[in-house]
């Protein structure tokens, strides 16, 4: 491997670690508000996909300006639907991250994810601002991916992927320790299964940490592209 590629890899990892730390510190600020819209949307979208795959339907999907998400669902498998928010955020994050490593994979997956998001919003959301801002963010991301230098597009995709995975950790923390969040995914799972929500939180916490560590390992082993 040439010195230039090694330097690019080192720079990319430094920037990625910085983004991870910054996203955690700045999570409650407006600095990463557009990114938070995307990761929260992917979380709610995952509930909707799980509902459709298990025989249900999405009545409404919306995200308020304070980023409180809602996905109203009829029928479907309740346990799978309740788990899908955590699982979906993790899987979407891993897909986005891997897209930065595999160019051919990204050329298929990114348009598909973008299309699914837009279709869901147009058919399920009554919030015109959410549809507009999401569409603009998706267009910007696709333009960056196809037109920006490889280093920049790679870092942005990795950052989005990692932040989506980190959102699982933050969401679990809020679900378990935030007393005002009385009806969360974890509490629904507890109600459906009889297993305490803290146990569900620990399960998804462990899976998320494993997923994040795997992505970092994958990034370390991959060639810069």
For the segment 31-76, what is each residue's pLDDT rounded down to a tens digit?
777 777 778 888 888 888 888 889 888 887 777 766 677 778 888 8
Q: Is residue 39 part of a domain?
A: yes
Distance of alpha carbon 166 from alpha carbon 23, whole angstroms: 9
| Contacts of residue 38, Cβ cutoff 8 Å, sequence gap at least 6 | 134, 137, 160, 164
For the segment 182-195, what is each residue's pLDDT rounded down to a tens digit?
567 778 888 888 88
Percent of the chain scored above 70 by pLDDT? 86
Q: Is residue 20 part of a domain?
A: no
Distance of alpha carbon 159 from alpha carbon 23, whole angstroms: 9
Task: Look at residue 172 in the predicted model and tell me its pLDDT.
Answer: 77
**Sorting pLDDT into bands at 50, 70 and 90, what band is 178?**
low
Mean pLDDT in residue range 80-97: 84
Q: Is residue 8 part of a domain?
A: no
Distance of alpha carbon 223 from alpha carbon 181, whole angstroms: 42
Name the residue range of residue 211's domain.
34-221
pLDDT at 225 over 50: no
Q: Is residue 18 part of a domain?
A: no
Kindly give the residue spans of alpha helices, DSSP state H, lying in 77-127: 78-99, 103-124
Answer yes or no: are the C-beta atoms of 89 and 167 closer than 8 Å. Answer: yes
Q: Is residue 80 part of a domain?
A: yes
Q: Is residue 96 part of a domain?
A: yes
Q: How many domains does the chain have?
A: 1
Q: Is residue 215 part of a domain?
A: yes
Task: Look at residue 219 in the predicted model and tell me its pLDDT.
Answer: 63
Task: Look at residue 220 in the predicted model and tell me its pLDDT.
Answer: 59
Distance of alpha carbon 6 from alpha carbon 185, whole angstroms: 42
The CA–CA distances, whole Å, from 195 to 125, 176, 205 equal: 33, 13, 16
């Amino acid at each position: 491997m040439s010195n230039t590629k090694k330097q690019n890899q080192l720079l990319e990892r430094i920037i990625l670690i910085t983004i991870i730390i910054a996203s955690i510190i700045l999570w409650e600020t407006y600095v990463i508000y557009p990114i938070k819209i995307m990761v929260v949307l992917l979380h709610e979208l995952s509930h909707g996909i799980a509902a459709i795959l298990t025989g249900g339907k999405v009545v409404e999907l919306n995200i308020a300006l304070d980023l409180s998400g809602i996905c109203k669902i009829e029928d479907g498998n309740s346990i799978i639907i309740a788990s899908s928010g955590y699982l979906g955020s993790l899987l979407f994050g891993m897909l986005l991250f891997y897209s930065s490593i595999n160019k051919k994979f990204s050329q298929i997956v990114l348009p598909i994810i973008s299309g699914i998001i837009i279709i869901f919003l147009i058919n399920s959301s009554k919030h015109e601002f959410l549809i507009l801002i999401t569409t603009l963010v998706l267009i910007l991301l696709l333009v960056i991916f196809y037109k920006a230098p490889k280093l920049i597009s790679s870092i942005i995709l990795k950052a989005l992927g990692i932040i989506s995975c980190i959102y699982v950790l933050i969401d679990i923390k809020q679900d378990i320790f935030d007393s005002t969040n009385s009806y969360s995914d974890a509490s629904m799972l507890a109600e459906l299964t009889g297993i305490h929500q803290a146990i569900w939180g620990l399960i998804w916490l462990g899976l998320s940490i494993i997923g994040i560590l795997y992505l970092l390992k994958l990034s370390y082993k991959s060639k810069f592209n």
